[in-house]
């Protein structure tokens, strides 16, 4: 086979996946893995839906690592053919020599990792008698950090900050030494990688154990590779029980049966810093670490090996790669070795095959650059993909409150007063501009609030106009307003229009002035606290005072982010002003529950796509996976409308549960025969409430165990609750309680845990079960697992469309509509999709996303069973039905003509389960 043919060889999709960890995958799992393998090989972007309990994580890992294994074999074979083709003696000898070299390198590397495994096992066994590494910091170091001189801005000439990371020269030198591509770095293999991202570390924690169960074949000598083996068809997989991870201390030669994938977990300093002295001392660990790195030798962080002794950190890097570790394991391993796991994990990236990381590290270009992540030709898996769009939108969002603005203004004023004589003229000019911006913005935000809340006060102190009540104000001014950056700057007036925002932002970044000013403010606060401490001499107070600020981002850093966003704003950037009170935002006068007191200013984006585009453009293949991704068209419309159709694909997996384990019903009519319609305007109608009360009561008589009813909003839930309390309105709450103990989802997060705890206790202890009345999209509709008896029925009341009183939502809808019209004009889109304009489609998709997440709380494993019931005649509409997950919607959804049909279907379903159970 020629070199061309090896490099261009298309890996054919395997029929089976012997690396799958469990005895035999279900057909739907094999179908999913085949789809994933094919998508990776053909460089596609795919959205896959695999319901909870169908082994999604195992399927994702198995398919992608099987492809990686085949790809590695293809690449090895290709390398041989690169040096010489042909069957003459010289070509054969040359290939043989290279083969031996490659095999020796591979073996040597595997042995090195096996050694690292043994070393780690050894360290673990000694850990019991080992003392925690003592940092060698002392009080004088703290003093030096707080020397006043350290608060002066950096000179322009000191820095060439091209990556926006605000690193000092000293840190850059250090980072350059640690750069895996630095010239003095020992040569290590690099390989194609799978970047596996999820929203949180706790979600990623589930990946490592699944990885350990995979049966990816061990090292395959290149000499034994054939074109068949490279195509994934002929690889010899040996089955057998995998060794436990902790036992993997033997050399690769003893353990060639299965390959231990080289994996690394990436996290922030917040998760990985092991310098306890620093953690206790500062609230901003990133900043504290940077300061330590810039210190002289003896004052540097004791957990970072001295410059020139990279071999120490490389040894720990090998330990990281030798045995997969989640973020907690990594921090523990760092403490055991005394070496910083934050920097060591970054060093492990080039050799890792699987890199797990939270969304923010993958999605932000600056974070990728700082980590040295190059997605070019790599595989990206985004798990819990229903969170992707909200995360993309939120990563660029900056919130400022009026109070924060005023604090920042005070800090800059104080700083300038103190350092005025020590600042050079260039610094002074820029600081005056910053002060002018803050001053004008604070005044504008204050006036915006006063227009809506308080009567104006004239210079004389007299009221300029008589007081008006809040409802009258609401008629004059909306409580939420959305502006483009240009509109905001124009409204702020002459002083700001004339400012060169880009220049100020450049100054902020180069001088690190936000850090300096915040640091000085912190110092003043600490001094004030010390005085307070002396006066009060109360250790408790001290803890309260210092603890209260921990983890809070300094105000000026937020202002800097806001200014950076304003200066670089794109077409889809907006600034929204929202009146708030202690319960949160007020969208209109009707929503107020106490007097408005502040304003939230928010920079946000309307379009998530541009911020994901470079990931899609660079990566070989992108897989967006989730338990509930329907409606899949929503993800495609919002993120991938720029892709050619041939690069985009999707897969909605069936469920592994047998069909008799789920009953899905759309209920269009109530017991009275009236059509069910729970639109916002009808939710207060006594007849609607009576129908709903009677339906739930009927269900409490049939459904065993736990039953969860999701309302579209707290408002509707509260309306129903108060109506049902009265005997005149049917007294339904008492009637429910006679059948099942009733619980309500609390509006306050603090109460959630106790409600869940009690609900679960009642379900498990009583024969009648419990009824939980909750709200779609609130605290219980995502991320919670209501398996088995906890939810034998999930009922969705109505369609939870978002509140159109939100000016932000209206602006987003206007934006997508304008974009669609542009595409129609430019001929990029032929017609309005599915007869609905993009705004209506987005609005409906947001609603169905929320419904699907709530439905997904039940049926969590193969033997689980439950009824999923959708109350509203609109669920019989085909466009809504197609937006349900495949295993629920379409023909799987029963739509009885009368309520009697629903009761009958439920009776049969639960009787069948009782008989079996």
Helix (H) or strand (E) holding 123: helix 89-126
DSSP secondary structure letter of residue 134: P
Is residue 101 within 8 A of residue 90, CB to CB? The reply is no
The residue within the footprint of ligand SF4, chosen from 292, 393, 402, 579 (CB under 6 A), is 292
- Indicate whether 304 belongs to the interface with ligand SF4 (CB under 6 A): yes
Told to check if 779 binds ligand SF4 by CB under 6 A, we report no
Nearest-CA neighbor of 17 among 71, 74, 66, 69?
66
Q: Of 197, 274, 357, 441, which lies in the binding site for ligand SF4, with binding defined by CB under 6 A?
A: 274
Is the Cβ of residue 303 or residue 857 nearer to ligand SF4 in the bound state? 303
Q: What angle do CA 606, 611, 612 make, to 5 degrees?
A: 120
Tokens 């924690």, residue?
205
Binding of residue 327 to ligand SF4 (CB under 6 A): no
Among 47, 207, 289, 579, binds ligand SF4 (CB under 6 A): 289
Give yes or no for a contact between 785 and 202, defined as CB atoms under 8 angstroms apart. no
Measured CA to CA, the distance from residue 512 to residue 517 in angstroms comes to 9
Contacts of residue 297, defined as CB under 8 A and 6 or more positions apart, other chains included, come to 306
The one-character DSSP state at 11 is P
State which residue, 334 or 555, has the beta carbon closest to ligand SF4. 334
The reply on whether position 199 binds ligand SF4 by CB under 6 A is: no
- Whole-angstrom Cα distance, residue 495 to residue 662? 65
Q: Which stretch binds ligand SF4 (CB under 6 A): 337-345, 357-365, 532-540, 693-701?
A: 337-345
Whether omega before 676 lies within 30 degrees of 0, making that bond cis, reads no
Among 40-48, 59-67, 297-305, 614-622, the segment contacting ligand SF4 (CB under 6 A): 297-305
- Minimal distance in Å, beta carbon 123 to ligand SF4? 18
Q: What are phi and psi of 35, to 5 degrees?
A: -60, -45
Find the part of the chain contacting ligand SF4 (CB under 6 A) among 272-280, 476-484, 631-639, 850-858. 272-280
- CA dist 709 → 272, 374, 901 (Å): 41, 46, 20
CB of residue 174 vs ligand SF4: minimum separation in angstroms? 10
- Contact between 178 and ligand SF4 per CB under 6 A: no
**To the nearest whole angstrom, how small is the minimum distance from the Cβ of residue 679 to ligand SF4?**
53
Binding test (CB under 6 A) with ligand SF4, winner from 17, 37, 109, 342? 342
Shortest distance, position 348 Cβ to ligand SF4, whole Å: 15
Name residues whose C-beta falls within 8 Å of residue 567's C-beta, 6 or more positions apart in sequence: 501, 502, 504, 505
User: Per CB under 6 A, does 278 bind ligand SF4?
Assistant: yes
**Segment interacting with ligand SF4 (CB under 6 A) among 72-80, 299-307, 572-580, 737-745:** 299-307
Q: How many CA atoms lie within 13 A of 156 on its CB side?
A: 9
703-712 as b/e: b if 16+ CB within 10 A: bbbbbbbbbb
Residue listed under structure tokens 């001290």: 542
> In a 3-state reduction of DSSP, which class is residue 28?
helix
Least separation, in Å, of the C-beta of 855 and ligand SF4?
Answer: 42
* 316 is a contact residue toward ligand SF4 (CB under 6 A): no
Q: Which of 275, 396, 576, 892 binds ligand SF4 (CB under 6 A)?
A: 275
CB of 179 to ligand SF4, least distance (A): 16
Backbone torsions φ then ψ of 481, nearest 5 degrees: -140, 140
Residue 303 binds ligand SF4 (CB under 6 A):
yes
Q: To the nearest whole angstrom, how small is the minimum distance from the Cβ of residue 173 to ligand SF4?
A: 15
The neighbouring-strand residues paired with 894 are 665
Nearer to ligand SF4, 342 or 520 (CB): 342
Q: Report if residue 273 touches ligand SF4, rule: CB under 6 A.
A: yes
Task: Select from 47, 114, 340, 373 the one that contacts ligand SF4 (CB under 6 A).
Answer: 340
| Per rule CB under 6 A, count of chain residues that contact ligand SF4 | 13
Q: Smallest gap, in angstroms, from Cβ of residue 168 to ligand SF4?
A: 14
Angstrom distance (rounded) from CA 456 to CA 442 = 17
Q: How far apart are CA 799 and CA 848, in angstroms?
A: 8
Stretch that binds ligand SF4, among 136-144, 191-199, 231-239, 340-348 (CB under 6 A): 340-348
- Any contact of residue 269 with ligand SF4 (CB under 6 A)? yes
Whether residue 555 contacts residue 283, with contact meaning beta carbons closer than 8 Å, is answered with: no
CB of 341 to ligand SF4, least distance (A): 7
Q: Reduced to 3 states, what is the DSSP secondary structure of residue 12?
A: coil
CB nearer to ligand SF4: give 274 or 794. Answer: 274
Binding region for ligand SF4 (CB under 6 A): 269, 273-275, 278, 289, 292, 301, 303-304, 340, 342-343
């Amino acid at each position: 086979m020629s070199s061309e043919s090896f490099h261009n060889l298309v890996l054919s999709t395997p029929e089976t996946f012997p690396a799958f960890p469990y005895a035999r995958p279900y057909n739907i799992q094999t179908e999913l893995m085949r789809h994933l393998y094919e998508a990776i090989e053909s460089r596609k972007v795919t959205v896959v839906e695999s319901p909870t309990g169908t082994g999604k994580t195992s399927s994702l890992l198995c398919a992608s690592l099987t492809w990686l294994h085949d790809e590695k074999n293809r690449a090895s074979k290709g390398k041989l053919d690169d040096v010489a083709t042909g069957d003459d003696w010289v070509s054969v000898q040359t290939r043989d020599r290279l083969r031996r070299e490659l095999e020796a390198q591979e073996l040597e590397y595997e042995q090195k990792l096996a050694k690292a495994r043994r070393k780690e096992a050894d360290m673990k066994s000694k850990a019991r008698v080992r003392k925690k590494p003592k940092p060698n910091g002392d009080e004088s170091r703290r003093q030096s950090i707080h020397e006043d001189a350290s608060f002066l801005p950096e000179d322009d000439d000191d820095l060439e900050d091209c990556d926006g990371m605000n690193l000092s020269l000293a840190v850059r030198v250090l980072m350059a030494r640690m750069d895996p591509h630095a010239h003095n770095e020992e040569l290590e293999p690099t390989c194609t990688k799978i970047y596996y991202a999820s929203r949180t570390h706790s979600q990623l924690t589930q990946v490592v154990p699944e990885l350990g169960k995979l049966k990816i074949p061990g090292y395959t000598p290149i000499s034994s590779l054939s074109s068949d083996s490279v195509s994934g068809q002929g690889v010899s997989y040996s089955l057998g029980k995998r060794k436990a991870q902790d036992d993997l201390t033997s050399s690769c030669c003893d353990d060639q049966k299965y390959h231990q994938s080289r994996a690394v977990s990436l996290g922030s300093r917040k998760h990985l810093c092991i310098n306890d002295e620093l953690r206790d001392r500062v609230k901003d660990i990133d900043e504290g670490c940077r300061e330590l790195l810039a210190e002289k030798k003896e004052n540097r962080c004791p957990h970072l090996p001295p410059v020139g002794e990279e071999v120490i950190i490389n040894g720990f890097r090998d330990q990281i790669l030798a045995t997969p570790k989640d973020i907690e394991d990594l921090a523990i391993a760092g403490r055991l070795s005394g070496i910083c796991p934050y920097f060591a994990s970054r060093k492990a990236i080039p050799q890792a095959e699987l890199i797990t990381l939270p969304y923010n590290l993958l999605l932000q270009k600056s974070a990728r650059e700082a980590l040295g992540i190059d997605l070019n030709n790599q595989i990206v898996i985004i798990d819990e993909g229903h969170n992707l769009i909200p995360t993309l939108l939120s990563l660029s969002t900056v919130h400022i409150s009026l109070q924060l603005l005023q604090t920042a203004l005070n800090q800059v004023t104080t700083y300038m007063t103190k350092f005025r004589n020590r600042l050079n003229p260039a610094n002074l000019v820029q600081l005056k501009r910053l002060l002018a911006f803050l001053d004008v913005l604070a005044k504008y935000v204050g006036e915006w609030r006063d227009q809506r809340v308080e009567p104006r006060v004239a210079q004389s102190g007299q009221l300029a106009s008589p007081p008006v009540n809040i409802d009258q104000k609401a008629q004059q001014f909306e409580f939420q307003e959305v502006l483009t950056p240009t509109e905001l700057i124009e409204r702020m007036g002459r002083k700001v229009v004339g400012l060169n925002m880009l220049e100020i932002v450049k100054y902020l970044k180069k001088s690190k002035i936000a850090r300096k000013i915040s640091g000085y403010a912190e110092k003043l606060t600490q001094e004030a606290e010390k005085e307070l401490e002396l006066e009060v001499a109360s250790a408790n107070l001290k803890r309260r005072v210092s603890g209260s600020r921990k983890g809070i981002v300094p105000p000026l850093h937020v202002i800097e982010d806001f200014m950076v966003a304003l200066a670089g704003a794109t077409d889809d950037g907006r600034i929204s002003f929202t009146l708030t009170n202690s319960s949160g935002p007020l969208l209109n006068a009707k929503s107020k529950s106490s007097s408005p007191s502040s304003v939230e200013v928010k920079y946000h984006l309307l379009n998530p796509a541009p911020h994901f585009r470079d990931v899609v453009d660079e990566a070989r293949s992108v897989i967006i996976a989730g338990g509930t991704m329907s409606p899949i068209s929503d993800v495609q419309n919002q993120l991938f409308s720029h892709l050619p159709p041939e690069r985009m694909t999707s897969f909605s997996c069936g469920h592994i549960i047998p069909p008799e384990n789920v009953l899905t019903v759309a209920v269009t009519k109530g017991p009275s025969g009236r059509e069910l319609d729970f639109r916002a305007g009808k939710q207060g109608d006594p007849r609607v409430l009576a129908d709903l009360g009677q339906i739930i009561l009927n269900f409490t008589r049939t459904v065993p165990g736990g039953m969860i009813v999701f309302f579209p909003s707290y408002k509707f839930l509260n309306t129903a609750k108060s109506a049902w309390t009265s005997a005149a309105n049917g007294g339904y709450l008492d009637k429910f309680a006679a059948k099942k103990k009733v619980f309500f989802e609390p509006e306050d997060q603090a109460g959630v845990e106790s409600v869940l705890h009690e609900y679960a206790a009642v379900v498990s202890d009583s024969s009648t079960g419990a009824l939980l009345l909750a709200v779609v999209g609130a605290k219980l509709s995502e991320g919670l697992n209501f398996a088995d008896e906890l939810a034998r029925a999930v009922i969705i009341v109505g369609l939870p469309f978002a509140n159109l009183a939100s000016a932000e939502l209206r602006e987003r809808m206007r934006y997508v509509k304008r974009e669609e019209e542009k595409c129609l004009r430019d001929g990029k889109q032929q017609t309005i999709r599915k007869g609905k304009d993009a705004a209506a489609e987005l609005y409906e998709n947001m609603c169905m996303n929320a419904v699907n997440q709530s439905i997904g709380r039940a049926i969590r494993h193969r033997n689980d069973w439950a009824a999923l019931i959708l109350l509203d005649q609109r669920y019989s509409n085909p466009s809504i039905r197609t937006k349900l997950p495949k295993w629920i919607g379409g023909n799987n959804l029963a739509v009885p003509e009368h309520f009697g049909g629903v009761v009958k279907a439920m009776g049969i379903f639960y009787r069948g389960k009782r008989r079996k159970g």
